[in-house]
Structure 1
Amino acid sequence: MQINLLRKLPPAGVRIRWQEIIYTIFGYIFLQNHKQKLTNDVKKYFNVKYCFFVNSGRSALALILLSLMKKDKRRELIMPGYTCFSVPASIKRAGLKIRLIDFSNDSFEYNFKLLEKAINPETLAVILVYPFGLSVNVTRIKRLAETRNIYFIEDAAQAMGLKVNNQYAGCIGDVGFFSLGKGKPVTSIKGGIIVTNNETIAENIDREIEILKRPSFLENLYIIMVALFMKIFINPYLYWVLDFVWFIKLGETVYNPRFKIGLMPKAAVILAKMMLKRLDEVNRERTIKA
């Protein structure tokens, strides 16, 4: 048996096509209505009234929380004990207190009895995650949130395109978000999408978005460069090269509540529009391989 020491499987990531990279470069130079086109595509695909584009999933969650806190004095958020480090980092960034609830012993869903007991007068919201993109009992938690008068937030970072009871994950609660990070089914290298059908929440998020600075040329260049590196080196026989490229960090997640909140760079918006067309195809491939 031969062992190839240079062969290394990427921990995450989707293959970006050459035409998508070329169109991103072309679009960054020449296109002007890129954001509106992606807005229309997201609204149509997910059947939502409002959507916003930011530089990461963690920024998306932080902005959601900041918007909910504007006219609400409650300062506690319920989250699962098992999830990505980005979730508590976003909650900390927004200035909320975290209350952890365990999953059930036989699933990746909240222990419902513990969840019911955890809700108190200080509870602002409960956040539902979709671990590994798996379906969960959304209806039960949504009803509980409505009954107890708290917000229901969906973290669909790993579940973009997943349908639950004929509705898309992320679009069932009061507000939800997707991550377009390097390891996600649809990637724009850096990016996050907020979706909601609630007009009041949308207006508050829009006010938070308006004060964010426009992404720099270097931020756009980063998107294009990383897309090129991923296209070339995501091959198992070449992936080891990325271990020496410090700014790629594919599959790496660290707890850092001091992350930058910003708008999605133009190059990322254009790449996201191209990648969104392949969402169903990518999810079918993931299902087969799983």
Structure 2
Amino acid sequence: MFKTIPPAGIPYKWSFVFNPEKTGSSSFESSLSGLFGGKTYLTNSGRSALYLILKAAQKLRPERHEVIIPDYTCWSVPSAIVKAGLKARPVDIDPDNFGLSPDAVDTAIGENTLAVVHAHLFGIPGAIDKVEKICQKRNIFLIDDSAQGLGARLGGRLLGSFGDAGVFSFGRGKTITTLHGGAAVIRNEELAQAAGMIFRDEFPKPGAGDISAILQLSAYKTLFNRRLYWIPDSLPFLKIGETVFDPDFPVSRMADSLAARGESMLKNMEDIIAVRNSNAALYQDMLKNTPNINMPKYPSEAQPAFIRMPILLTDWKKRRIIIKKGHNRGISAMYPGTVGSIRAIESYLAKNIEDCPIAKRISETLVTLPIHHGINNVDIDNIIYFLKSVI
């Protein structure tokens, strides 16, 4: 009766909790720098990593104060922008891959534009190659937000390797996890140097050690189970799956104990991605040509690294039913609305924001399906049957 499938996550062995590799931050930093080419800074969260890059960019070009972002993205992105003392300019997105529309970016760039942040929601590559050319031509910093895109590729290039810097998150539902943590990998030398000074002065070393990591990882492993997940899911103060706009977040460095576990899980990244992509392919095959359901699309040169399987419904009323009745099946929404719809953000937006009808429609019609290691083919069949019965 209380069985609830988590919408996203990564099951791991007890050896990951108690016997991580005897490495630390330097090893994880080196691995990420080797993959993405640049100076790596390990932080306590993905939004802290984004804040670090934006603060460094602002230091180099203090006369500019606007950051172009997708109107439909994680609310941690505008939170980092506001914390850095900058203004957000949300623009519309591509309806097929949920990434920034290159045309919208080109139109939105102005004399006050400091940077563009391009996100890859659900591990689906957007047209960042085109955005990269635009930013190079217009002399704008490009931040490749791969918080959800670690391991995915576009034209053979890893997401996170485009532009001046890449941002990564190692939260619970990402490609790999240390439960919390992030990284900034900065390729622009001036930007990396500026970030280094900010990192030294503003990012303290965390106080908690390996015992704290063991306790948190043990709790997560125990509760990432359909027989027990209902417990944290039902406690409102834990705010499981909640997306908030909070510019007053703390920044610090990643604990060595978590970095060691990040290094360990990074070595298994391809296997993790393979399972998720295989499950995503089952949904795609079984839902293709289903009336009232649209699937994401991406070019042949794109290789996703799905963290969830997103689908778009044509009827927002049925979306409510699916989310409510499908909750225990791991079906969920993503963000509660567009960036422009955040009540507390109005004074932090750039002037003369264009309407973003595609982002608004996606925020009202998108649902996600679970694809992690904790589900099997029977679960997928049941989810498909449920969706078709409602649609």
Given the two structures, how large is their TM-score scaled by the length of structure 2? 0.68
Change (3 A) 1:264 1:248: farther
The 2-side partners of 1:42 and 1:247 are apart by 34
Equivalent residue number for residue 264 of structure 1: 254
Q: Residues 1-290 of structure 1 correspond to what in structure 2 (within 5 A)?
A: 5-24=1-20, 34-44=24-34, 46-72=35-61, 73-211=63-201, 212-217=203-208, 221-243=211-233, 249-290=239-280
The 1-side partners of 2:138 and 2:25 are apart by 37
State the structure with more CA Rg.
2
The 2-side partners of 1:42 and 1:107 are apart by 25
Change (3 A) 1:244 1:208: same
Identity of aligned residues (%): 32
The 1-side partners of 2:113 and 2:65 are apart by 6
Return the offset for 1:247.
7.5
The 1-side partners of 2:198 and 2:236 are apart by 32
Q: Which amino acid aligns with 1:158?
A: Q
Cα offsets for 1:237-274 (capped at 9, x unmatched): 11112236678654333211100011001221111111
The 1-side partners of 2:210 and 2:83 are apart by 25
Cα offsets for 1:23-73 (capped at 9, x unmatched): 24xx7xxx5x612211222223x1413111000000000111001111202
The DSSP-based 3-state class of the residue aligned with 1:258 is coil
Q: Which amino acid aligns with 1:289?
A: N
Change (3 A) 1:47 1:63: closer
Asked whether the equivalents of residues 11 and 250 of structure 1 are also in contact (C-alpha less than 8 Å), the reply is no
Given the two structures, how large is their TM-score scaled by the length of structure 1? 0.90
Asked whether the equivalents of residues 171 and 196 of structure 1 are also in contact (C-alpha less than 8 Å), the reply is no
The DSSP-based 3-state class of the residue aligned with 1:178 is strand
The 1-side partners of 2:250 and 2:38 are apart by 27
The 1-side partners of 2:100 and 2:149 are apart by 17
Change (3 A) 1:247 1:54: farther
Gaps of 5+ in 2: 281-391
Q: Which moved more, 1:105-114 or 1:176-185?
A: 105-114
Gaps of 5+ in 1: none
Structure possessing the higher relative contact order (Cα contacts under 8 Å, 6 or more residues apart)? 1
User: RMSD over aligned Cα, in angstroms?
Assistant: 1.8
Q: Which moved more, 1:75-84 or 1:268-277?
A: 268-277
